[in-house]
A and B are shown apart, each in its own frame.
Chain A
Amino acid sequence: MASVRIREAEEGDCGHILRLIRELAEYEKLSDQVKISEEALRADGFGENPSYRCLVAEVLPAPGEPQGPSVVGYGLYYFTYSTWKGRNVYLEDIYVTPEYRGTGGISSKIIQKVAQVALDQGCSQFRLAVLDWNHRAVALYKALGAQDLTETEGWHAFRFEGEAMRKLAGK
């Protein structure tokens, strides 16, 4: 019987991470929005001053099985900063490939590991964003003690991009 372990991503995992990023985008029918390359992921995550950190969920085959371990999920996070509270952790992406969902609680294990990182780094809070139609995810996070700040405090996420941002910059 195969077992799963959650470990820190290494540079060599970037190909797998990109595959899973694309899988998630495909599932959301937005695959044409994935512009990032494997080289960019490597440079951004494993250079001198990484822009993100990543955990991967790896299935380890049972003894005797011919295939090697395979990466079936990932959790990508980074540190944010509050002038009042200092460093926080922000979980940007969490994804488990469909065949490995529902059994073994891989998502929960990934979140647990990120929570541990948050505590080790002296963070007082862990944040993430969820789409309102994703009831399963909302239920999972609430069961872990998450609170919906959009509901309780009215926070909305805003963005400037593309043409709007160029205009602001005076270009």
Chain B
Amino acid sequence: MEEQVMLTEKGNATVAGGGRVSGTCHLHPGHHYVFLLPLLADLLEDGFGEHPFYHCLVAEVPKEHQSPEGHSVVGFAMYYFTYDPWIGKLLYLEDFFVMSDYRGFGIGSEILKNLSQVAMKCRCSSMHFLVAEWNEPSINFYKRRGASDLSSEEGWRLFKIDKEYLLKMAAEE
């Protein structure tokens, strides 16, 4: 199966937006399409304009291995570039998913391999990403491949400030 999986870079081609992107949306089980549909236009504009905000790799299987619903895109990784002022550009892996029926065939590993090659080609010194501490299978997957948990090892905590507080701050100026 591994040899037949094609990883394609979603480049600047005018993709048949509906088909591909809806395939990507399908990979979030449990979401309601009606809720996601308004985002399709944004995803298209944000990822395929002149200065894309993100990049995407998709894992595509040949017709004979399509899912029962007829989907050939069975995995994806969404990434963009961030910056470490001490070193320079980094690759940030935002989303990484393989449909459950297609796991255990090395698709995830192949996606990671592609990503690390992109990182090296773009002169990024490292790849960063988040993992939930309860997600044991993912933690093992990454640690087996040499990833470090910076939160545990160095004490990093991720914080967020929501819009209502941004508005408060801006109003105080």
Contacts and interface: CB of A to CB of B under 8 A. Distances in A.
Contacts of A164: 145-147
Contact of A84 (B39, B133, B152): B39
Contact of A80 (B82, B151, B157): B82
A21 B92 CA distance: 22
Interface in B102-134: 112-113, 115-117, 119-120, 125-134
Contacts of B157: 129-132, 138, 148-151
Contacts of B80: 80-81
A165 B120 contact: yes
A166 interface: yes
Contacts of A141: 159, 161
Interface size class of A (residues with CB under 8 A): 35 or more
SS of B interface (majority): mixed
A12 B89 CA distance: 20
A149 B160 contact: yes
Contact of B160 (A125, A160, A170): A125
Interface of B: 39, 42-43, 46, 51, 53-54, 78, 80-89, 92, 94-95, 112-113, 115-117, 119-120, 125-134, 142, 145-152, 154-170, 172-173
9 contacts: A40-B88, A115-B166, A148-B157, A148-B158, A153-B132, A154-B132, A157-B129, A158-B130, A164-B147
Closest 6 CB pairs of A and B: A164-B146, A145-B165, A161-B126, A156-B151, A168-B116, A132-B155
Given A126-B161, A147-B159, 4 more contacts: A33-B86, A83-B54, A86-B53, A161-B148
Interface of A: 17, 21, 25, 33-36, 40-41, 44, 49, 51-52, 76, 78-84, 86-87, 90, 92-93, 111-112, 115-116, 118-119, 123-133, 138, 141, 144-151, 153-171
